[in-house]
Amino acid sequence: MDTRTYKIFRYDSSKNEKPKFRSFEIPVEKGMTVLEGLIYIQDNIDGSLAFRSSCRAGVCGSCAMHINGKYRLACETQIYSLKSKTVTIRPMAHLKVIKDLFVDLEPFWEKYKLIKPFLQPGEPPPERERIQTADDRLRLEGLIDCILCGACQASCTVCETHPEYLGPAILLKVNRFVEDSRDNAADERLEEVSGFNGVFRCHTIFNCQEVCPKELDPTGSIANLKRKIIKKKFGPAKLYK
Ligand code: FES
C-alpha cells in the first residue's frame, strides 16, 4: 500500500508548551484528499488533532490551510497532486492559533462586519423582487463566488505588517456590492475603503490572486475600487499633451 508522511504543526494555546511539528505515516490511495488524510489521523492515530472542515466539497471555506508551501483548501487538494511524499501542513497565517490548525477567525469576521456585507438598496422593497438585467448580473461574475476561506488574507504580506488592513477577501466583497446594480450605497462604501486601512494599503503583490482556490481576482477588485475612488475625488482622467 502507498503511504505519505503528514508533517503537521501542533500547538495548544491552553498549555505552556512551544509549537512543534509532528509526523504521521498514513496509507493513501488515488482520489484521496489532504482533508481525508487529516480525518484518517484524527480517527485512527491521534484524536486530539484539531482542524476545521465542514462541507468537504470546496463550498464552506472552512478547511483553508498552508499545504506544501501554498494556502489551499484541504478538501479540494488531492494528495497525489502534490509532488512531495511529505505533506507539510501549517495553520493560516496572521491569526492566533487556538489549537494545531484551528485558528481564531474572530478578527477576520470583525473586518467583514465593518463593511456591511449586505445589499443596501436605500428604498423600500418592491412587491416581488429586485430585477437585474443580464448585463448587470454579468458585472458580478467572478465577484460573488468568494467562499470567505481567508486564503488570500493569509497569503497577503500587508495583512502581516498591518493587521488592521481590511485585506483582499474583505475588499473583494466591497467591490461585489459596489458593482451590484441593486445596491445604492456605493459612495459610502468607497469612502470607507479609501481610508488608512483600505485599498491604498495594497501593494499589488498578487499573492491573493495566486492562491484563491476559486480563481478569483481580489487584486483586480482592489484596483477597481482605487479607480472609482480617484475618479470620485478628482473626476474622469484627462489626457495631457
Ligand atoms: S470543508 Fe468546506 S471548503 Fe473544505
pLDDT at 213 exceeding the cut of 70: yes
202 DSSP 8-state letter: -
Local confidence band at 5 (pLDDT 50, 70, 90 cut-offs): very high
- Domain spans, the chain: 3-103, 106-234
Residue 54 near ligand 1, beta carbon < 6 Å: yes
Residue 73 near ligand 1, beta carbon < 6 Å: yes
Select from 109, 105, 95 the least CA-distant residue to 170.
109
Select from 197, 230, 226, 218 the least CA-distant residue to 154.
218
Burial 204-232 (b: 16+ CB within 10 A, else e): eeebbbebbbeebbbbbbbebbbebbeee
Mean pLDDT of the chain, nearest integer: 95
pLDDT the model gives residue 11: 98
Strands of the chain (E only): list them: 3-10, 20-27, 64-67, 70-73, 86-90, 97-99, 102-103
Distance of CA 154 to the CA centre of its chain: 7
pLDDT at 241 exceeding the cut of 70: no
Pocket test for ligand 1, best of 51, 54, 148 (most atoms within 8 A of CB): 54
pLDDT at 62 exceeding the cut of 60: yes
Local confidence band at 52 (pLDDT 50, 70, 90 cut-offs): very high
pLDDT the model gives residue 240: 57
Give the phi and the psi of residue 10 in degrees, each rounded to 5. Answer: -120, 135
pLDDT the model gives residue 1: 86
Q: Give the class (CATH, top level) of 106-234.
A: mainly alpha
Share of the chain above pLDDT 90, in %: 93
pLDDT at 171 exceeding the cut of 90: yes
Superfamily of domain 3-103: Beta-grasp domain (3.10.20.30)
pLDDT the model gives residue 235: 74
Pocket test for ligand 1, best of 38, 56, 148, 214 (most atoms within 8 A of CB): 56
Ligand 1 atom closest to 74 (CA): 4
pLDDT the model gives residue 101: 98
pTM (predicted TM-score): 0.92
Residue 26 near ligand 1, beta carbon < 6 Å: no
pLDDT at 237 exceeding the cut of 70: no
